[in-house]
């Protein structure tokens, strides 16, 4: 069962696309275009992984699915792409990556991605996901949302998996020194989970039978966990060193001003703070900058308070 779906990245895409239309330096353009590409690629990778997860487990009464969970705990943040929870309270914490071509893992466990005609080092997604699991574990221990069985709190068993696009070529280190079995392609997720589940057979293992919870217990806990999701709203103008943008009446032509003035009498648009009538263009400006104005329209003077 799907408890939480992915957050839309459309607002971020629109904000970045809008910045590219403004008066910016070549360096700012490069940074904004790179950010926009990263946002689109990240959303595409998560969407692809979510498709395979939902296809096999979306309607299951044995699994709870949480997509795109951002947890804040003790001044630290974990941005978790996907979590699958079964009735044994195994938590599959999944990090999805959207690299288009080739990935190489060295003998030392370093990750490299192929760009252009050479490989470049990238952060280890295994270690990244370990940090996510570490924070999630501590959060669950103190949040009091884990259920109890005969008075004892159920402790989840975490499983770390990294999902790459089915199109990516993965070069793994030779030998058995480094375990890369948690690195899988998204379309092979069910096969991998089936292998994990087969390691513990509840039918023949009475101990495991006693650990199985009802799905309602899993669902309740998953809903509580999803309720702690705290989406972040990025100020891209500040990030790229752009001045704060405000709406000015000088942006209107005399013809537009006359047209908007006609609408004032009908009280169609009003400032959410001072209640004075404003033009449709001023209102739309605020709506297009939801991260700053919270989706409410404000007049020019009140915009200065944000």
Determine the pLDDT at residue 258: 54
**How far apart are alpha carbons 109 and 107 in whole angstroms?**
5
> Which pLDDT band holds residue 200 (cuts at 50, 70, 90)?
low
> Which pLDDT band holds residue 253 (cuts at 50, 70, 90)?
low
More confident residue, 80 or 276: 80
If you compute the radius of gyration of the chain from its CA atoms, what whole number of angstroms results? 25
Torsion (CA) 161, 165, 166, 170 in degrees, nearest 10: -70
The least confident of 67-76, 94-103, 297-306 is 297-306
Mean pLDDT, to the nearest integer, of 153-175? 91
The least confident of 75-84, 107-116, 189-198, 203-212 is 203-212
Residue 248 has pLDDT above 50, yes or no: no
The predicted model scores a pTM of 0.73
> Which pLDDT band holds residue 244 (cuts at 50, 70, 90)?
low
SS3 203: coil
Task: For 256-280, write each residue's pLDDT tens digit.
Answer: 555 545 544 444 567 778 777 777 7
> Which pLDDT band holds residue 38 (cuts at 50, 70, 90)?
confident
Determine the pLDDT at residue 4: 95
Cβ atoms of 11 and 290 within 8 Å: the answer is yes
More confident residue, 254 or 236: 236
Determine the pLDDT at residue 277: 78
pLDDT-above-90 percentage for the chain: 39
More confident residue, 297 or 92: 92
**How far apart are alpha carbons 120 and 109 in whole angstroms?**
14
Nearest Cα to Cα of residue 215 among 147, 139, 140, 144 = 147
For 183, phi then psi, to 5°, come to -90, 110
């Amino acid at each position: 069962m799907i408890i939480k779906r992915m957050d839309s990245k459309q607002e971020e895409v629109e904000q970045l696309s809008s910045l590219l239309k403004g008066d910016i330096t070549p360096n700012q353009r490069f940074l904004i275009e790179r950010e926009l590409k990263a946002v689109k690629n990240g959303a595409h990778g998560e969407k692809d992984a979510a498709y395979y997860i939902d296809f096999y487990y979306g309607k299951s009464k044995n699994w709870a699915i949480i997509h795109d969970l951002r947890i804040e705990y003790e001044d630290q943040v974990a941005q978790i792409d996907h979590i699958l929870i079964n009735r044994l309270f195994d938590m599959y914490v999944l990090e999805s990556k959207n690299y288009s071509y080739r990935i190489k893992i060295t003998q030392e466990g370093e990750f490299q991605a192929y760009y252009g005609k050479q490989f470049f080092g990238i952060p280890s997604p295994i270690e990244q996901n370990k940090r996510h699991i570490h924070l999630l574990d501590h959060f669950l221990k103190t949040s009091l949302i884990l259920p109890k069985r005969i008075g004892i709190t159920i402790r989840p068993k975490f499983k770390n998996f990294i999902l790459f696009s089915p199109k990516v070529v993965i070069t793994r280190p030779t030998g058995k020194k480094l375990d890369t079995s948690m690195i899988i392609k998204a379309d092979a997720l069910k096969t991998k989970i089936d292998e994990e589940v087969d390691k513990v057979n509840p039918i023949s293992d009475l101990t495991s039978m006693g650990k199985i919870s009802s799905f309602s217990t899993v669902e309740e806990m998953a809903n509580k966990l999803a309720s702690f999701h705290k989406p972040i709203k990025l100020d891209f103008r500040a990030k790229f060193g752009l001045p704060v943008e405000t709406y000015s009446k000088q942006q209107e032509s005399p013809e537009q001003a006359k047209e908007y003035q006609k609408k004032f009498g009908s009280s169609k648009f009003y400032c959410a703070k001072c209640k004075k009538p404003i033009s449709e263009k001023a209102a739309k400006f605020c709506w297009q900058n939801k991260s700053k104005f919270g989706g409410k329209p404000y007049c020019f003077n009140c915009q200065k308070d944000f």
